[in-house]
Structure 1
Amino acid sequence: MGDLRRSISVIFISLLFSKSVKSIHKIKVKVLRKDGSRYSLLDVVAVEEPLEIRLSVQGFTLRVATTMRTPGHDKELALGFLWSEGVIRDIDSVQSVKRSLDPRIEVSENVIVVELSSGTQVDWSRLNRKVDVQSSCGICGRQSLQSLRNLEINRPKGAIWPSDLSLGTFSKKLSSSQEMFRKTGGVHASGLFDYDGNLICLREDVGRHNALDKVVGWSLNHKNTPTEDMILLVSGRISFELVQKALLVGIPNLVGIGAPSSLAIELAQEFDMTLLGFQRECSVNVYSGDWRIGKS
């Protein structure tokens, strides 16, 4: 077991300080058929590599998290992660988001530094626990309902949906726009729609929480784009963490192709978010906030 851990650690570090920024990778695979025949082909797979996120304030720089992600939109991911974890609460305090230029190491495409203005208050207590993040589940179990309440989140606003709004159209548009999934079949997606059905932002990643953090980061970078009348559609199940991230950026509507967890439902109900699951062409399950749906 010790040798395995050391080997994994070596691979992890070598990937962290590599310069690869590709989101997909081609690999030769063997295909075995039911009749016993076999052949080789080039398969396209989603890249999964670590991204180290550092926070710099008043000349002090700290590694706050390392997440396994698909390269691409890394600056959005870093910004969205810090916001959705409650570490930073004022977007105007962010001076820069850039690749690391640390002279002590080789310039890495897998290290992002978020620099805050002098005097910015940072809730370091939210980072005093586990900071290594798996692509499958984010910082699993780190948050709780009480710690989220401590952030004093405002209930999302959000108007009643237009009577002609069609979620079936939303899911079709999300599916047809997932270029990386079409090539690999191995990534999640988060798409932000307005009430007119326009796909405003789409991000894909091997981690569902990463895909959403990238959308959050995009939203923070586009402060003039209000989130009050937006619908967030995610390609898989809905966890507590996804509801949390959407709430922290003010998104009032969250729809999943899959099922929500019990804690996700509890959180959505407490903050009056409209939460829908099992979205299909002709039906959807409503778990919270049905008043926004109206007659659509």
Structure 2
Amino acid sequence: MSSMSYQYVNRQRYRLTPEGTVDLRLSEDIVISEEPLNIVLHWNCPKTGKQLEKPLMVTMRTPGQDAFLVTGLLLSYAIIHHAADIEKISCEEHNQCDVYLDKHIQFDWKSLSRQFVSHSGCGICGANDVKKLAHTFTHNIDDKTHWLSINQLLSLSTKLREQQALFTATGGVHSAGIFTVDSCLSVQEDVGRHNAVDKVIGELLQQSLLDNQNILMLSGRVSFELMQKAVAANIPVVVAIGAPSSLAVSVAKQFNITLIGFVSEYTFNVYHGDFRLIKAQC
């Protein structure tokens, strides 16, 4: 747990005693850090070959693992498709990441810039239609059957919780983890749930660990934007402690992703794709 990720603040703690009086105590509390991150793109103009530089967006995030966040974000917008599409990421300037794209990367800047909104809860704004999503991502999600057991699935919420150091300290963050049936590959935490997913996907993309049988585990609800990130990363199973939205279910059906909500130690709901589950338990 990085010291950049949290801060100490003064607090007044009020408690109503059994006698009906108010007990007031002054103390310190740990709160999650929230700071802006300016993301600046550097790329070559396809017509002139001249290097261009423009600020892409400002997002509010918990400092730490910024390069992972940026990598996952660019993947979810289909600006990149592989880690090699990024020449380098420089985070030397405070609260800024300069992203240098490989020379072959081309995109429509005007179309791209319209999609971004500068706040920590932003998703893929302007892409709230499943048909548009299908035009952006045309790859097929792996449809292998019967590879995730019920016992393995039910263990995910506990495994994610065990890795939530920032949540334990502050109670103020979202988390996302990527698992295989055998192991936890990565867990990331952030004040923004979209950022947590970008960080965990970006980390595995950089390490070439994204696989067609990965499982994305979320600490909260499932929105359209989070499903889009799963689609971009070719993740076939999305599991959440909370509920899915209607558009999240639509994306699951469109791309044949197994979508599971309200998972706990003993129960879960399947909204699509139960063919990946091993239903017979020993």
TM-score (norm 2): 0.89
Note closer, same or farther for the CA distance 1:137–1:257 as it changes in structure 2 (3 Å cut).
farther
C-alpha offsets along residues 202-226 of structure 1, whole Å, 9 cap, x if unaligned?
A: 0000100000000111121012x24
Alpha-carbon offset, residue 89 of structure 1: 2.8
Q: 2:94 matched to which residue of 1? A: 109
CA RMSD of superposed structures (Å): 1.9
CA distance in 1, matches of 2:231, 2:274: 17
Q: 2:54 matched to which residue of 1? A: 62
Residue type at the aligned position of 1:60: L
Which of 80, 95, 98 aligns to 2:90? It is: 98
The within-5 A match list for 1:223-234 is 223=208, 225-234=209-218
**Is residue 156 from structure 1 mapped to residue 148 from structure 2 by the alignment?**
no
Identity within the alignment, %: 39
Which of 230, 243, 250 aligns to 1:266? It is: 250
Does the 8 Å contact 1:21/1:71 carry over to 2?
no
Q: 2:109 matched to which residue of 1? A: 124
Note closer, same or farther for the CA distance 1:183–1:21 as it changes in structure 2 (3 Å cut).
closer
Does the 8 Å contact 1:86/1:126 carry over to 2?
no
Residue type at the aligned position of 1:36: V
The within-5 A match list for 1:1-296 is 22-34=4-16, 35-58=21-44, 59-99=51-91, 108-140=93-125, 142-157=127-142, 159=144, 160-163=146-149, 165-196=151-182, 198-223=183-208, 225-295=209-279
Once the two structures are overlaid, the 10-residue window that deviates more, 71-80 or 31-40, is 31-40
Does the 8 Å contact 1:30/1:38 carry over to 2?
yes
Alpha-carbon offset, residue 162 of structure 1: 4.2
C-alpha offsets along residues 55-85 of structure 1, whole Å, 9 cap, x if unaligned?
A: 1012211111111100010001011111101
Unaligned 5+ segments in structure 1 are: 1-19, 101-107
TM-score (norm 1): 0.85
Alpha-carbon offset, residue 166 of structure 1: 2.3
SS in 2 for 1:114: strand
Alpha-carbon offset, residue 113 of structure 1: 1.1
C-alpha offsets along residues 95-137 of structure 1, whole Å, 9 cap, x if unaligned?
A: 101125xxxxxxx321101111223222435423152332234
CA distance in 2, matches of 1:232, 1:88: 20
SS in 1 for 2:278: coil
Unaligned 5+ segments in structure 2 are: 45-50
Does the 8 Å contact 1:51/1:111 carry over to 2?
yes
Alpha-carbon offset, residue 146 of structure 1: 3.0
Does the 8 Å contact 2:40/2:97 carry over to 1?
yes
Does the 8 Å contact 2:150/2:278 carry over to 1?
no
Alpha-carbon offset, residue 158 of structure 1: 5.0
Note closer, same or farther for the CA distance 1:133–1:146 as it changes in structure 2 (3 Å cut).
farther
Q: 1:5 matched to which residue of 2? A: none
CA distance in 2, matches of 1:37, 1:141: 50
Note closer, same or farther for the CA distance 1:253–1:167 as it changes in structure 2 (3 Å cut).
same
Number of aligned pairs?
268
